[in-house]
Chains A and B, each alone.
Chain A
Amino acid sequence: MISSIHTINILLPIFYFATLVVYFYDFLKGEVKLVNVKRVFLFITLFLHLVYIVMRTIAFDHPPITNVFEIFTILAITISFSYFLVELVSDIRGTGPFIIILPLIFQLISSLFIQDLTEVKEVLRSNLLGIHVISALLGYSGFTISAVYGFLYLVLYKDIKLNKFGLIFNRLPNLEVLERLSLYSAIIGFIALTIAIIIGVIWLPVAFPKFSYLDPKLIGTLLVWLLYAIGITSKVLGNWRGKRLVTLSIAGFMVAILSTILSNFLAQSFHSFY
């Protein structure tokens, strides 16, 4: 089993790359015939990825959520699965390549550095941790997709304003749809992150008696949560829309990435498990 895990570990980035190529080709050519082909590619990749995660969980006796490289592979599958759902439900074409590139990057990093860990710190063997990590990852996937749609909104907005009617103009869905997709993914991400925070706060004092509320990860996450809270509230109240909203979503995503990098690699935090 270990050797097949290693093989799939190498195959996964290749599969994501192949899927990205098909999506990108479709974006350039816009041929109707490719609509189903690219979905099949994505589906096969997702299936292989799921098999990989189940195999890892069994072989190494823990779900791959205990360090950053394990988490990256989960992040890759949650982002691509969320996008798969978006595509099935909304039938929106043309945004695929911009999303699929993210799971490719996450999976590539994961595949390069992931190790066959069987020893896991006792503190990480908790059911609450499972829910905490999964909801946090769902939250971040939501924010990632929201940021991508936000970014596409800004690009299309600029293109229309500057009379640039190229590929972006021809292939992307309209501005209202992009704004809506960005908002909905942000809301889903926000709800998931809220759950992660609540569980974290309940579980923290039990698991780490010495933790501090001034921990960089905690502050970073709270900042991200606040940004999205402000954005969503002002949208609901009808004050903010379009450009300002998606800019906020992109900013939230940046802070989220930054806080993850900082707390995992640079600062001393109880969240640094690598």
Chain B
Amino acid sequence: MNLIAISINHRTAPVELREAVYLKEDEIRPFINLAKENEIKEGLILSTCNRTEIFGIPNNNEASHEKFQKLLLNFKAAQNISEHNFQKFISRDAIRHLFSVATGIDSLLIGDNQVFKQVKDSFQVAEETNFAGYIMHRIFDAAIRTGKRAISETAISEGAVTISYAAVQLTEKIFSNLSKKSALVIGTGETGEIAAKHLSEKGIGSLAVTNRTQEKAEKLAEKLNAKVIPFDDFKESIYKFDIIISATAAPDILVRKDDVKTALKKRSNNPMILMDIAVPRDIDPATKEIDYVFYHDLDSLNIIVDQNLAKRKSEIPKVEKIIEEEIDNFWEWYNSLQAAPAIKDLRDFFEDIRNEEVEKNKNKFSSEDQEKLDIVTKRIINKILHHPTIELRKADENSNSVDAPTKIGIIRDLFGINSKKKSEKD
């Protein structure tokens, strides 16, 4: 199979080079057209902030990885990118690479399931632009199945691997029902905003935000349907909250141990979670000594993140096993698209039908006519199959083209003739 793939990714190139070849949404379709003009009949373009990949089945033998690279570099007018910034794959390895990307084991953040969505989106674009033919379509199906199996059969995407998710995971180990809890987010910068969003997505009962610049807090509050607390006296109201997440750029401690002690007394020792995700810290670390106060900072949240990443890493062999199984399945199907066995299966299929009907009806004929019946029906079958057989042999001679397998695949689908091996398995 002459599936060719090139990949420039987080392992082969620094971010500025990846940015230089990144194909924006409105660039992908023109690029596909360009590829088609350059005799790449079927293929797939995947471009994210961490990788840009081109998969393609060229029309002839002359196409090579270099041609793919040139196509991309000329299209983006990118410079300073050399040969070694690209990974190259062919045939079975190319499929393996696509499956690895789809399952997230090739990602910077192992098991990242965002990439699975991006892969699926790129399939959609390929289909919409008629860039995915019969074979490519089958590869997409297999890749999606592999991705789904990796998620459901292994723990490759389990556990929080970002700080803000780790904070939520920790919260869920303390409180059972977030919808009955209230939270305050101090500081509405990028980190604070993400944390507030996560809490809101998890269905927090009531959410409040506070920020030195009141307008910024109001803006975020409007987006998330939250309350705004004036920054100057937020300390007086911390006792009202079960969860406090702080992420300001303040250089000094904002919440002192005594503030928390007073708050806890006011709420008759109802547990409080304090998440300090600011650098430098906003909440006095000594608050962790207070009973019923769960204080956590970036260091402790990073422990969770690291543990989950290690766990995901240990799942990679399981995912690789699934990938190999799916490649084998695909390959078995692909091999059934060779001309010789396909012609034999097709002929056997017709012969079986002929035989069955002759056996069923031969008693209606005299014994002399029975022999004639056999000869005549055989002749009909031969005549019907003559042209398809010639066509398939001819297509097969041009062995690198996807024409022959595509034709054979369609014939097999139409008549419902699967390869022998497969039907035995079923």
Residues of A within 8 A of B (CB): 156, 160-161, 163, 165, 169, 172-177, 180, 238-239, 241-243
Contacts and interface: CB of A to CB of B under 8 A. Distances in A.
A165 B268 contact: no
Contacts of A161: 288, 294
Contacts of B175: 174-176
B269 A176 contact: no
Interface stretch (B1-9, B166-174, B216-224, B276-284): B166-174
A163 B176 contact: no
A190 B292 CA distance: 26
Interface of B: 170, 172-177, 268-271, 288, 291-292, 294, 296, 299-300, 303-304, 307
Contacts, number: 43
A165 B174 contact: no
17 contacts: A160-B170, A160-B294, A163-B303, A165-B303, A169-B173, A172-B173, A174-B172, A174-B174, A174-B176, A175-B175, A175-B271, A176-B174, A238-B268, A239-B268, A241-B269, A242-B269, A243-B292
Given A160-B294, A161-B294, A176-B175, 14 more contacts: A163-B303, A165-B303, A165-B307, A173-B176, A174-B173, A174-B176, A175-B175, A176-B174, A176-B176, A176-B177, A177-B176, A239-B268, A241-B271, A243-B292
A242 B292 contact: yes
A154 to B, nearest CB: 12
Minimum-distance CB pairs A-B, first 7:
A176-B176, A163-B300, A177-B176, A174-B173, A175-B174, A174-B176, A165-B304
A243 B177 CA distance: 19
B204 to A, nearest CB: 15
Contacts of B177: 176
Contacts of A160: 170, 173-174, 294
Contacts of A156: 173
Contacts of B176: 173-174, 176-177, 180
Contacts of A175: 173-175, 271
B36 to A, nearest CB: 46
B154 to A, nearest CB: 11
A163 B296 contact: yes
Contacts of B307: 165
A264 B307 CA distance: 49
Q: Which of A160, A163, A242, A243 has the most CB of B within 10 A?
A: A163
Contacts of B269: 241-242
Given A163-B303, A238-B268, A243 B291 contact: yes
A238 B270 CA distance: 10
A221 B134 CA distance: 79
A124 B186 CA distance: 68
A161 B287 CA distance: 11
Contacts of B173: 156, 160, 169, 172, 174-175
Contacts of A238: 268
Nearest to A159: B173
Nearest to B176: A176
A240 B343 CA distance: 82
A176 B294 CA distance: 13
A243 B170 CA distance: 18
B181 to A, nearest CB: 10
Nearest to B294: A160
Contacts of A180: 176
A180 B299 CA distance: 31
A57 B270 CA distance: 50
A177 B172 CA distance: 11
Nearest to B306: A165
Contacts of B172: 174
Nearest to B311: A170
A243 B294 CA distance: 13
Contacts of B174: 160, 174-176
Nearest to A156: B173
Contacts of A165: 303-304, 307
A235 to B, nearest CB: 12
A173 B175 CA distance: 10
Nearest to B291: A243
Contacts of B291: 243
Contacts of A243: 291-292
B158 to A, nearest CB: 10
B294 A241 contact: no
B77 to A, nearest CB: 49
Q: Which of B175, B176, B292 has the most CB of A within 10 A?
A: B176
A107 to B, nearest CB: 33
A241 B300 contact: no
Contacts of B268: 238-239
A20 to B, nearest CB: 25
Nearest to B296: A163
A243 B288 CA distance: 15
Contacts of B299: 163
A241 B271 CA distance: 9
Q: Which of B173, B294, B296 has the most CB of A within 10 A?
A: B173
A252 B317 CA distance: 49
Contacts of B292: 241-243
Contacts of B296: 163
Nearest to B307: A165
